[in-house]
Amino acid sequence: MTLGRFPATRPRRNRQDDFTRRLVAETTLTVDNLIWPIFVMEGTDTQTEVASMPGVRRVTLDRLAAHVEPAAALGIPALALFPITPTSLRDAEGTEAMNPDNLMCRAARVLKREFPDMGLIGDVALDPYTDHGHDGLIRDGYVVNDESVAVLSRQAVNQAAAGIDIIAPSDMMDGRIGVIRRDLDAQGLTGTRIMSYAAKYASAFYGPFRDALGSGGLLKGDKKTYQMDPANSDEALREVEQDLAEGADMVMVKPGMPYLDIIRRVHDRFAVPTFAYQVSGEYAMLTAAMDHGWLDRDRTMLESLMAFRRAGASGVLTYFAVDAARRLRGG
Ligand code: PBG
């Protein structure tokens, strides 16, 4: 074609009306792609809003079924459970994590009874249970690896025994997937899946989550000796490779929106179910702008979630899950 002639190839032709746009769309976002993180707390007949996460509530167990009902009715496939442990039950060793009647286990039993078809994802890390807010055990001021893994594995078995379907280690200790898989199998929990937080970064975007859990004020120092450096991307591939070799069924990248490049690389390289966590700080950032009227709520929410799918994610853990599901169902 000679320069200056009107182009025969016109990408805009395929954008001119809705039916064509729908025909050529490369990516879909459906309710099946959504996982809803929820916060449970002790007490009765109470719910409190997380100040830095407008619209996100902590609920007591007697209110849990009512809280989850809309998600179940909309067909959201799975929930990720996070317990708020009273300070009086926290200690340096995270002992409460192994209690078969801890809040997480009781919540799992309530949910399995009320919603037998709903998938339950249990976060494995000691930070909801330690008085220092770290994900593992501290010896001489350092979060130690192997001793932490032994405890994390007991936490995982405890959760699986209570009915958690998918164990999601978010602690970033080395070798924990292999140990957890071995110990689950030894207990006959061979069907329990593992969704590894394989590439989890030491991120400032977790701030509001730590407010939600009440672990933010407790945290001494930072998590940089175990969570990944935001500067690194090749290292994420090595983390994922190792977790898959140890038996992970699915992997996760976290945070989400600032790390879409990592999702893309992981999915291209390994072709395994890859999940993304649109974390608390991303939710806080978006809702702050939405609540000011600076961003259109529905469109921004759905675009942000579609971006994860385009990057290669099978699904997204998102605090928008129920709202997004409603929109996707045409509500
Ligand atoms: C626990 C854990 C964290 C998040 C999920 N699991 C916090 C942390 O690592 O400090 C963050 C989730 C969010 O910010 O939405 N290890």
How sure is the predictor about 7, in pLDDT bands with cuts at 50, 70 and 90?
confident
C-alpha span between 185 and 179 (Å, rounded): 10
Ligand 1 within 6 A of 170 CB? yes
Is the pLDDT reported for residue 168 higher than 80? yes
Nearest CA to ligand 1 atom 2: 170
Q: What is the pLDDT of residue 11?
A: 95
How sure is the predictor about 4, in pLDDT bands with cuts at 50, 70 and 90?
low
| Atom in ligand 1 nearest the alpha carbon of residue 125 | 16
Closest CA to 173 of 140, 149, 198, 197: 149
Ligand 1 within 6 A of 279 CB? yes
C-alpha span between 86 and 281 (Å, rounded): 23
Across the range 102-124, mean pLDDT stands at: 98
- 260 CB contacts (<8 Å, ≥6 apart)? 276, 307, 308, 311
Ligand 1 within 6 A of 282 CB? no
Ligand 1 within 6 A of 52 CB? no
Ligand 1 within 6 A of 108 CB? no
Q: What is the pLDDT of residue 2?
A: 55
Q: Where are the domains of the chain?
A: 29-328
Ligand 1 within 6 A of 283 CB? no
Q: What is the pLDDT of residue 215?
A: 75
Q: What is the pLDDT of residue 251?
A: 98
Closest CA to 223 of 167, 285, 142: 142
Instruction: Give 185-227 pLDDT, tens digit per residue.
Output: 999 999 999 999 999 999 999 999 988 987 778 898 999 999 9
The fold adopted by the segment(s) 29-328 is TIM Barrel (3.20.20)
| Atom in ligand 1 nearest the alpha carbon of residue 215 | 10
- 206 CA to centre of ligand 1 in angstroms: 6
Is the pLDDT reported for residue 125 higher than 80? yes
Instruction: Give 231-288 pLDDT, tens digit per residue.
Output: 999 999 999 999 999 999 999 999 999 999 999 999 999 999 999 999 999 999 999 9
Across the range 66-95, mean pLDDT stands at: 97
Closest CA to 81 of 53, 111, 51, 48: 111
Alpha helix ranges (H) inside the chain: 18-24, 64-74, 103-114, 146-161, 176-186, 207-213, 234-245, 260-270, 280-291, 297-311, 321-328
Q: What is the pLDDT of residue 211?
A: 87
Q: 121: which strand partners?
A: 80, 166
Across the range 22-36, mean pLDDT stands at: 98
Task: Tell me the ipTM for this assembly.
Answer: 0.97
Global confidence as pTM: 0.96
- 180 CA to centre of ligand 1 in angstroms: 20
- 43 CA to centre of ligand 1 in angstroms: 23
318: three-class secondary structure by DSSP? strand
- 209 CA to centre of ligand 1 in angstroms: 6
Ligand 1 within 6 A of 123 CB? yes
User: Are 279 and 204 a contacting pair, CB within 8 Å?
Assistant: no
Is the pLDDT reported for residue 90 higher than 70? yes
Q: What is the DSSP letter of 217?
A: T
Ligand 1 within 6 A of 135 CB? yes
- 123 CA to centre of ligand 1 in angstroms: 9
C-alpha span between 78 and 318 (Å, rounded): 11
| Other beta carbons within 10 Å of 265 | 21
| Atom in ligand 1 nearest the alpha carbon of residue 200 | 9
Ligand 1 pocket test target in 209, 211, 219, 224 with most atoms within 8 Å of CB: 209
